Amino acid sequence: MGKRLKQKRNLNLKLNRYLVLAACIHFFISFFTDRLIFTYSLWNFTDSTAAVKTIFAWGSKAVFLCFLISLWHFFFWFFKKADRSFVKFTCIYFVLMCFLLLLVWPGIWRMDEFGILFEAGNVFPVFWQHYLTSVFYIMALMLLPVPSGVILLQNAFISLIVGWLLYRFQKLFLADKVFPFIYFGYIPFLFLPVLDSNLYPMRMSLYACLELLLLAEFVFHFKEKKMSGTNAITLAILSAVIINWRAEAIYYLLALPVCFLVLFWNIGDKKVKSKFIIWTVAASLILFVPQKLGESQKQFYKNSHEYELTSMLLPVVPLIGHIYMDALFSSYYPESEEAALSALEDKNTHVIFKQVCRLYLMDRVLDVYKAAKAAGEGRTGISLYWSDEEFVRNYTDEQYAVFKEIYWQLVFENPEIFMKERLQTFLQSKDLLENTTELFTKENVPNYEKFKELPMTAPVSNQMRNRLISILELRDAGDYQKKLFGYSFVYSALPAMVLEIFILLILLWKRKWAYSLLLASHMAKIPLIFLTAPSRLFMYYYPVYLTGYVLTVFLLLYLYAGKKEIKGGNSL
């Protein structure tokens, strides 16, 4: 019996030669379609730089071939063998997103994604937005060689996740009955910020859905009371992607294994737990190393710690402004960095001279005069960073380490200043990056001009595009900068956070410890984002926004189903 089951499992994993052939033909054709958008060379070894780019190109094509083989097999399984409910739920959402994409063609493009797109055309990663984002762009453009191909593939993945969540929820919590109200499960995925984010090709859109999928799969497998080794490895790889793709998610490296052990303590054998932990750590390390190597290269960053520095720029300006006035009363200044460090270590150093030394050392990393002036004018550190190239200096690793230590000293000495700025940033985190309705009207913007040279970037109708974007982003049709009534509520993650806290309290009251731990682990990112958010943007809290509303709607569906006495779904 065991031998037959093993043979059946091997058969399921066997590649279909016809599908592999189709993938290979597709792969061969891609070398010609790539010319529409890519500028890479496959045989240029004239110098070391050209050789590296050639290796990157061949590596990307190799990954793309694996991607195509997987994709063709998935297509076959999805349309021939997948549950019809899953296919239906997926296709409904995907058709809707394709229709919206057509109306706002070529999608919603704002700022950072232009750089990722242009570098992807050279088959080169952008480490500022994580190299995984560039990998996704490159695969999407090789599959569909137009800029909107990135958005189309993104929505294909998001639609699959939405369809899978509805299908699994209906099957496990509604006893797999035909429950017409299951379609209300689409509601949180139809919110304006969600639709807008789906049409915006930045990592946060897909990342939020992947995180939601991971948390849901933990719940679904716990409900089924089973966890196989294959499923554990799959969840571990997904966990590794989530841990690495966003910097604040690093805590998941500890939180997810703990959640896994608690949820599946009495489910499956010990090998399953070991597999999840080992694969999570190993896969996370594999994904982590290329990013750290890329960040350390000066050709990608002005300084190796620049990305981390941006998380301090908002609080550091008012902190510098606070001590700068005290320092003006000092007539003594340190002669060197060594003298300043010695003065700080001396307990007898006068408090004013101590502040002078701090500013002197911080000035090695960024211009403290400009920071103090910005504090007096009410300007933010991040706006100064993007508008003044000389604000951040060419510092060494040692100088940055000293700066970071002094920064945290100032935070602990002036918690009221730090928390006031952080609270203000949190409450105002409702902004979107740029006015995307100007993409085809504003002239002499390098990114816009270069983008319009790429294939199939012209909108179906620029007026229709701008009108729909204004609706999605709750802006006045004639003046994008004018926000309509309700914007501050709709584009705020605060209501979703309140809902999550309320649900967590209910779970604790009901003594649902496993579910409580899982939800708490997700909510742990809120204080991390609160402390490190580099700007006042809605997208930083988008994963919390999405999960909070999806959890609320699905819980309401579950409670309503319980009143209808759907058997098998009455207990969480």
Residue-wise pLDDT for 1-51, tens only, equals 444 444 444 435 578 999 999 999 999 999 999 999 999 888 888 877 778
Is there a contact between 294 and 304 (Cβ–Cβ < 8 Å)?
A: no
Is the domain of 295 the same as that of 310?
no
**For residue 330, what pLDDT is reported?**
60
Number of compact structural domains in the chain = 3
- End-to-end CA gap in the chain: 34
**Which of 377, 250, 256, 354 shows the shortest CA–CA distance to 308?**
250
Q: Domain boundary at 244, 270, 299, which?
A: 299
The overall longest dimension of the chain from CA atoms, in Å, is: 88
Domain limits for position 543: 494-563
In a domain, 90, yes or no: no
Is the domain of 282 the same as that of 312?
no
**For residue 356, what pLDDT is reported?**
85
**For residue 494, what pLDDT is reported?**
95
Is the domain of 317 the same as that of 422?
yes
Q: For 442, which DSSP code?
A: -
CA distances to 140, 181, 541 from 570, in Å: 42, 16, 32
Question: Could you tell me which residues come within 8 angstroms of residue 395 by beta carbon, excluding any fewer than 6 positions away?
Answer: 303, 364, 365, 403
d(CA 161, CA 188): 13
Is the domain of 315 the same as that of 405?
yes
In a domain, 389, yes or no: yes
Is the domain of 321 the same as that of 409?
yes
**For residue 177, what pLDDT is reported?**
60
Is the domain of 290 the same as that of 335?
no
Is there a contact between 568 and 173 (Cβ–Cβ < 8 Å)?
A: no
In a domain, 24, yes or no: no
- pTM for the full predicted model: 0.90
Is there a contact between 455 and 141 (Cβ–Cβ < 8 Å)?
A: no
d(CA 198, CA 214): 19
Low pLDDT (below 70) residues in the chain:
1-13, 176-179, 298-304, 326-332, 562-572
**Which of 139, 121, 119 shows the shortest CA–CA distance to 129?**
119
Is the domain of 311 the same as that of 386?
yes
519 burial (CB, 10 Å; 0-12 / 13-18 / 19+) is buried
**Which of 280, 284, 272, 161 shows the shortest CA–CA distance to 217?**
161
Q: Domain boundary at 372, 399, 426, which?
A: 426
Is there a contact between 247 and 127 (Cβ–Cβ < 8 Å)?
A: no
Is the domain of 313 the same as that of 341?
yes
Question: Could you tell me which residues come within 8 angstroms of residue 162 by beta carbon, excluding any fewer than 6 positions away?
Answer: 89, 90, 93, 186, 189, 209
In a domain, 38, yes or no: no
d(CA 221, CA 39): 45
Is the domain of 287 the same as that of 348?
no
Is the domain of 313 the same as that of 358?
yes
Peptide bond connecting 193 to the previous residue in cis, omega within 30 degrees of 0:
no
d(CA 196, CA 208): 14
**Which of 434, 429, 435 shows the shortest CA–CA distance to 535?**
429
CA distances to 227, 342, 351, 376, 441 from 356, in Å: 60, 13, 9, 18, 49
Is the domain of 416 the same as that of 324?
yes
**For residue 3, what pLDDT is reported?**
46
CA distances to 81, 160, 177 from 75, in Å: 10, 12, 26
**For residue 341, what pLDDT is reported?**
86
Is the domain of 293 the same as that of 310?
no
d(CA 60, CA 62): 5
**Which of 373, 370, 374 shows the shortest CA–CA distance to 362?**
370
**For residue 179, what pLDDT is reported?**
62
Classify residue 203 as left (phi > 0), alpha (psi -120 to 50) or beta. Answer: alpha
In a domain, 17, yes or no: no
Report residue 330: phi and psi, to 5°. -90, 140
Q: Domain boundary at 299, 327, 360, which?
A: 299
In a domain, 107, yes or no: no
In this structure, the chain runs to a length of 572
Cα-Cα-Cα-Cα dihedral sign, residues 286, 292, 293, 299: positive
d(CA 545, CA 195): 13
d(CA 340, CA 363): 12
